[in-house]
Amino acid sequence: MKKIILAACIALASGSAFAQSASKVDPALVDRYVQSMWSKVSDEWKARVKQDETQAICSATLNAPSAAEFEKIVAREKAAVVFPADGKVMGDWKAGLKVANTGTGGQFSDKPETYKGGNCYACHQMAPSELSFGTLGPSLTGYGKARKFAPEEAKAAYAKIYNAQAVMACSQMPRFGHNKFLTEQQMKDVTAFLFDPESPVNK
């Protein structure tokens, strides 16, 4: 029930004023435009614009899936979350700060070996001392402290970083672990940045 209410809230929040035709247009037609826009790139790059089922549903519903679709996405994404083998979700908060602050990697202007950052600050407020933060996502200031540094909350945060849609279908947040954008160590370090009592996030 909680999830259905959540889905309804998302539907209300993301309903666009214009959005009339997007859901009506033939997906095969859109696909033809996609193919032609990226006809000259390598197969590896082509694979990036091929949607998985979750991306396709979130796109078609403008991130407002039906309650049934919502449940299905969460179940599928949840089943795909891989926790660290040793069960430890907390890494080094200082390394996590670097991940949160870095926006390079994975762009066609980057070298393949360029360090990939999580760029958390692009969307979230984190340490109150950092003024340059985005507002696309909620503020995470005092995140661990507000959750009394509870280990099960840290585990939930790791899962959210690994795959935000395992918690909320069609969340705008990237599925960092699922899409193999960040490494397991990076995700542990970001979890520590959120949950370590010494982290500036909790100061």
Partner 1 sequence: MTDMGFKKMAGWLAALVLVAASCLPASAQQDAAEKEIERYRAMINDPMANPGFLAVDRGEALWARKRGAKNVSLESCDLGEGAGKLEGAYAKLPRYFKDADRVMDLEQRLLWCMQKIQELDTADIVKRRFGGPGVESDMQDLVGFIANKSSGMKYQPQVSHPKEKEMLAVGEALFHRRAGVNDFSCTTCHGDDGRRIRLQALPNFAKPGKDAQETMGSWPTYRVSQSQLRTMQHRLWDCYRQMRHPIPEYGSDGITALTVYMVQMGAGGEITVPSIKR
Binding interface with partner 1 (CB under 8 A): 14, 16-19, 21-22, 24-25, 27, 29-30, 33-34, 36-41, 45-46, 48-51, 55, 58-59, 62-63, 106-109, 121-123, 128, 131-136, 172-175, 179-181
Considering the complex, what minimum distance in angstroms separates the CB of residue 200 from partner 1?
A: 14
Nearer to partner 1 (CB atom), residue 111 or residue 148: 111
Considering the complex, what minimum distance in angstroms separates the CB of residue 63 from partner 1?
A: 7
Nearer to partner 1 (CB atom), residue 59 or residue 185: 59
Considering the complex, what minimum distance in angstroms separates the CB of residue 173 from partner 1?
A: 8
Q: What angle do CA 176, 163, 116 make, to 5 degrees?
A: 5
Distance CA 148, CA 90 (A): 15
Considering the complex, what minimum distance in angstroms separates the CB of residue 62 from partner 1?
A: 6
Q: Is 19 exposed, middle or buried (0-12, 13-18, 19+ CB in 10 A)?
A: exposed
Nearer to partner 1 (CB atom), residue 75 or residue 139: 139
Nearer to partner 1 (CB atom), residue 155 or residue 175: 175
Distance CA 200, CA 101 (A): 13
Amino acid code (one letter) for 27: P
Distance CA 161, CA 153 (A): 12
Nearer to partner 1 (CB atom), residue 87 or residue 129: 129
Nearest to 175 by CA among 55, 50, 3: 55
Considering the complex, what minimum distance in angstroms separates the CB of residue 1 from partner 1?
A: 27
Counting Cα atoms < 13 Å in the Cβ hemisphere of 193 gives: 24
